[in-house]
Amino acid sequence: MGQTLTEKILDDHLVEGELEPGEEIGIEIDQVLAQDTTGTMVWLQFEALELDEVQTELAAQYCDHQTYQFDFKNTDDHRFLRSAAGTYGAYFSRPGNGICHNVHKENFAAPGKTLLGSDSHTPTPGGLGQLAIGAGGLDISVAMGGGAYYVEMPEVVNVRLEGELPEWASAKDVILEMLRRLSVKGGVGKVFEYTGPGVETLSVPERTTITNMGTELGATSSIFPTDEKTEDYLARQGREDEYVELSPDEDAEYADEVVIDLSEIEPLVAKPSMPDKVVPVREVEGESVEQVIVGSCTNGGYEDILPAAKMLEGREVDMKTEMIVAPGSKQASEILAREGWTAEMMAAGVNFSEATCGACIGIGHVPASDSVSVRTFNRNFEGRSGIEDDSVFLASPEVAAAAAIKGELVDPRDLADELGDLEAPGVELPDAYDGSKTDIIEPEEAVDDELVKGPNIGSAPIGEPLEADIEGEVLLKMEDNITTDHIIPATSDILKYRSNIEKLSEFTLSRVDDTFAQRALDADGGVLVAGENYGQGSSREHAAMCPQYLGIEAVLAESFARIHKANLFNFGIVPLSIDEETYADIEQGDDVEIVTDVAEAVASGETEFTIRVNDDWEATAELNASERERGILEAGGKLRLTKEQYKEDGSGAAPADD
């Protein structure tokens, strides 16, 4: 039987297990990336593991999420990251150089290689045939030390693209269509592999918009085969020698198939406040828009900003609307500036931001109260823009620019009819991506050779071995699709404490209930209850570290998002699955006791755990965990376990099986 492209790359990197969907596999990692707000813990944990040098082919540290440095804490984090990259041998991308996914795509993404990144949108270079996966910081530290990365072998789904996109429809609309059909949990445990005749009609930047936002489906990754377009893109980046031809076998068998006829795609938007609330723009036409932002790791490339610039040429942004361009990388800003497009957009009324995540997580450009913001981003979770009860629509650059011109949501086709002289901008790549490279410091040019820690930089927390009893109050009962933005918000007032768990934990679940952290401390711990897809969104391990710090011992949920579940294991919190009925019956404030000796049951491979509620009724909760994950729980988390293993191994470097 032939192999899918995903299977081929996994096979090449397999160090443990078999490529059977649902089974845990260990793979070798070629490249790692970390960004500023997860990176500090990555390096603090690398330090705690007493590792002294990066072992992967390449490691890159970016400073991208919070580059405005409102506070010395952010600046200290960036200085610490530069010192860690220098000390241990990673590339360092300076603050303002751009968003990790964009800069990695431009400089390092390589077909056929594996990439592990401490950011959920790490799958972006799947558009170039790289198998890229997002994970928690500790998994990055271990992989960077030479350890394997463990993940459940995903089901590989064939997304067959047919036809060609019509004018005004874009790659963003393709991934929004996927979200419309499959929902934010439709991709859990899956890799989406794009095939079919439609693939060759899409440029690499269009493909990376699709793979980037595969994360919103909950997917483990998304990938395209490579072809002339990939080779051409790499050549324009001056990296043609990294091209490798990759495709699935003709008789590859897929777990499932989704067919998308590109010629039927039309301009879409995701309505507030979930990326899968997708409708045609025409359904919401007329909605007044006060803010438009073109940018982010999804649509912040040169090829995304250019269409908006062309649409605005000789026109003006509507008087009641503010338009901001937040480029995904300095390379994009630099080329647009050299070509004169920046001046053109400024003349139309656009304001420019530095190349940063910024507004995507509510840092700057917070929308006005009771207003609509149209963004080319990938997430519109409630409150993420920096104001509660926000109203953020996700859209393509074309739909965003049309909204800026009209001051209201409008299908660009209708706007073109109305204006008469508005042409579909299409997709255009620059002849060469000739931005300067001054903002990337190579390991050989490192500025520092020892760690520099400011006063806000704490240490990596090490858990305690699992105990026999788990009993406590249900401190919070939550609904479906709780995001990591609910668990640990990423707005600037909170983000600056990412290196200081004691302080950060004060904000735990504040977006659901701002009394939670104090109640958890007062109760000396307890358990959490949630509906489906608990922990979707970000890879931030802080969403497990902080509850652990507050004494949370178990989370009972109908289902979990992949990265967050791995983070719960990594920090010694037991993730138990409950059925719909148990979820319905259990109430906040109830007392929950796991009837068995938990430590023993986890160690002996028990999957069913009886839970006793209020000493009154019982239900069964399931632990779906591999032997390795059970070992992590028993030890009190992956940091403690890995440290112990290194000590036994005596090598100081991570063995392949952790």
Q: How far is the CB of 549 from ligand MIC (least distance, A)?
A: 17
Q: How far is the CB of 558 from ligand SF4 (least distance, A)?
A: 26
Q: How far is the CB of 252 from ligand SF4 (least distance, A)?
A: 31
47 half-sphere exposure, CB direction, 13 A CA radius: 21
For ligand SF4, the closer of residues 141 and 539 by Cβ is: 539
Q: Residue 536 and residue 561: Cα distance in Å, rounded?
A: 5
Write down the residue that tokens 């504040």 correspond to. 510
DSSP-based helix, strand, coil % in the chain, nearest 5: 35, 20, 45
Q: Can you give the three-state secondary structure of 372-433, one letter per residue? A: EEEECCCCCECCCCCCCCCEEEECCHHHHHHHHHHCECCCHHHHHHHHCCCCCCCCCCCCCC
| By CB under 6 A, residue 73 contacts ligand MIC | no
- Give the H or E element holding residue 33: strand 31-34
- Hey, which residues between 27 and 46 contact ligand MIC (CB under 6 A)? 37-38
- Hey, which residues between 376 and 395 contact ligand MIC (CB under 6 A)? 379
**Which option in ligand SF4, ligand MIC, none does residue 99 bind, with CB closer than 5 to 8 A by kind?**
ligand SF4
* Binding-site string for ligand MIC from residue 442 to residue 481, where x marks contact by CB under 6 A and - marks none: ----------------------------------------
For ligand MIC, the closer of residues 229 and 540 by Cβ is: 540
Q: Residue 112 and residue 527: Cα distance in Å, rounded?
A: 42
Q: How far is the CB of 596 from ligand SF4 (least distance, A)?
A: 40
For ligand SF4, the closer of residues 49 and 133 by Cβ is: 133
| By CB under 6 A, residue 77 contacts ligand MIC | no
Residue type, 566: A
Q: Are 506 and 519 in contact (CB under 8 A)?
A: no
Residue type, 76: D
Residue type, 478: M
Q: How far is the CB of 67 from ligand SF4 (least distance, A)?
A: 11
Tokens of 158: 């064939």
| By CB under 6 A, residue 499 contacts ligand MIC | no
Q: How far is the CB of 483 from ligand SF4 (least distance, A)?
A: 12
Q: What is the DSSP string of 78-141?
A: HHHHHHHHHHHT-EEEPTTBB-HHHHHHHHT--TT-EEEESSTTTTGGGGGT-EEEE--HHHHH
**Which option in ligand SF4, ligand MIC, none does residue 208 bind, with CB closer than 5 to 8 A by kind?**
none
Q: Residue 556 and residue 577: Cα distance in Å, rounded?
A: 6
For ligand SF4, the closer of residues 308 and 611 by Cβ is: 308
Q: How far is the CB of 275 from ligand MIC (least distance, A)?
A: 11
For ligand SF4, the closer of residues 153 and 361 by Cβ is: 361
* Binding-site string for ligand MIC from residue 82 to residue 121, where x marks contact by CB under 6 A and - marks none: -------------------------------------xxx
Q: How far is the CB of 639 from ligand MIC (least distance, A)?
A: 19
Q: What is the DSSP string of 471-502?
A: EEEEEEE--TT-BHHHHS--SHHHHTTTT-HH
Question: Quick one: which segment of 204-212, 406-414, 537-545, 580-588 binds ligand MIC (CB under 6 A)?
Answer: 537-545
Q: How far is the CB of 533 from ligand MIC (least distance, A)?
A: 15
Q: Residue 584 and residue 588: Cα distance in Å, rounded?
A: 11
**Which option in ligand MIC, ligand SF4, none does residue 66 bind, with CB closer than 5 to 8 A by kind?**
none
Residues in binding contact with ligand MIC, number by CB under 6 A = 13
| By CB under 6 A, residue 539 contacts ligand MIC | yes
Among 490, 517, 550, 554, which residue sits at the site for ligand MIC (rule: CB under 6 A)? 490
* Residues within the interface to ligand SF4 (CB under 6 A): 65, 99, 119, 121, 296-297, 357, 360-361, 377-379
Q: Are 537 and 119 in contact (CB under 8 A)?
A: no
**Which option in ligand MIC, ligand SF4, none does residue 296 bind, with CB closer than 5 to 8 A by kind?**
ligand SF4
Q: How far is the CB of 495 from ligand SF4 (least distance, A)?
A: 10
Tokens of 588: 């906040």
Question: Which residues have a Cβ under 8 Å from the Cβ of 41 and sit 6 or more positions away?
Answer: 137, 138, 460, 498, 499, 541, 542, 545
**Which option in ligand MIC, ligand SF4, none does residue 570 bind, with CB closer than 5 to 8 A by kind?**
none
Q: Residue 99 and residue 137: Cα distance in Å, rounded?
A: 17
Q: How far is the CB of 83 from ligand MIC (least distance, A)?
A: 20
Burial class, 179, CB count within 10 angstroms (exposed 0-12 / middle 13-18 / buried 19+) = buried
Residue type, 328: G
Residues in touch with ligand MIC (CB under 6 A): 37-38, 65, 119-121, 361, 379, 490, 537-540
